[in-house]
Amino acid sequence: MKKKALYNKVDKELLKKKLEQEGIERTTLSFYQYAHISNPKLFRDHFYLSLDEVGVLGRIYVSQEGVNGQISVPTHRVEELKAVMNSVDFLKGIRLNIAIDDDGKSFIKLKIKVRDKIVADGLDDSSFDVTKKGIHLTADKFNELTNSEDTIVIDMRNHYESEVGKFKMALTPDVETFREALPVVEKMLEDKKDKNIVMYCTGGIRCEKASAYYKHRGFKNVYQLDGGIIEYARQVEAQGLENKFIGKNFVFDERLGERISQDIISKCHQCGKACDEHTNCANDACHILFIQCEDCANTYANTCSVKCKDFTMLPEEKRESLKGQIEFNGTKFGKGRYKAHKKDETLQID
């Protein structure tokens, strides 16, 4: 009997075409669980086979500290997915955060990777108790507590996430990674240790670790939004509560965002027009994440600059020969800082 593959190595464009032709409704969801996994590689392979069996696509990280996943599943097989989850002791009854604004095309293949951590945080977990975390808040309790003058709301996400959507009253650190955010936020709050510190992120996983860390660092009243923005939006709609979140919730899949309110709080990085549509530069040698309106997408051929547009117009052989010799906005993996966008610089080739 042929052994089933544990990795999907089919060409990206073929996978996109297959998804388009699939013709079935899909549900996008996310989950995480901190747990002790003694053999992450063995668990990864078993988990891959189980999820592949029910048609799951997505990206999942596995480590000795647990799992963190964003996936899509055929809607008619959601119960089968739950059965797979319930077959794993530490995943029994796990909450699956269902996407708010979902077209079913969030992922094109299943990828499960073994990592040192399920979220890169740079922390020494042995130095504090990760189980002593902040108090979880439902949407109504979050709304109530954030009405108090003694409450400070902190966005634990990156600048390109909060740029398109955030809670009205939130402080938004200017950072590109969660690892970078932890010391920056601590510095911002160093003289406010007696205040109510309420943190939030996309689905809750970053706050799960951060809240325990800040309690260890002497913050007395630490809270976190249970289930993050995704669960908050679901509860607000279901219970008819005031929605304090404005704009879009950035997501790390093909959609790049799901609309929570009709407010547009950001601008096109190229012309300054009101816009909150993230995209990646069409020049694969750049690929920087940035915000671009439809007019600029036409003007710049879906690239971030004249330089990148010029590069995409070159013959493929020429582009290949120049790779690594030219620096673009995203060459060093920047995340859409407009000050780095030299959009009118032309391509210079010796």
pLDDT above 90 for 84: yes
pLDDT of residue 106: 86
Q: Which two tokens stand for residue 120?
A: 């890169």
Domain ranges for the chain, please list them. Answer: 12-114, 125-247, 278-340
pLDDT above 90 for 103: no
Q: 308-315 contacts: CB < 8 A, separation 24 or more?
A: 308/281, 308/282, 308/283, 309/283, 310/346, 310/347, 311/283, 311/285, 311/286, 311/347, 312/282, 312/283
pLDDT of residue 336: 63
Task: Report the sign of the C-alpha dihedral through residues 222, 227, 233, 237, in that order.
Answer: negative
Residues forming the active site:
201
Q: How confident is the model at residue 332 (pLDDT cuts 50, 70, 90)?
A: confident
pLDDT, tens only, 249-266? 999 888 899 999 999 999
DSSP string, 38-97: S-HHHHHHHHHHHHHHTT-EEEEEEETTEEEEEEEEEGGGHHHHHHHHHTSGGGTT---E
Q: What is the mean pLDDT of the chain?
A: 90
For 202, counting Cβ atoms within 10 Å of its Cβ (0-12 exposed, 13-18 middle, 19+ buried), the class is: buried
Please tell me which residue, 142 or 105, carries the higher pLDDT value.
142
Q: How confident is the model at residue 2 (pLDDT cuts 50, 70, 90)?
A: very low
pTM over 0.95: no
Query: Three-state SS for 323?
Result: coil
pLDDT above 90 for 324: no
pLDDT above 90 for 19: no
Domain 125-247 has CATH 3.40.50.2020: no
Residues sharing a CB contact under 8 Å with residue 42, sequence separation 6 or more, in sequence order: none
In this structure, CATH architecture of domain 12-114: 2-Layer Sandwich (3.30)
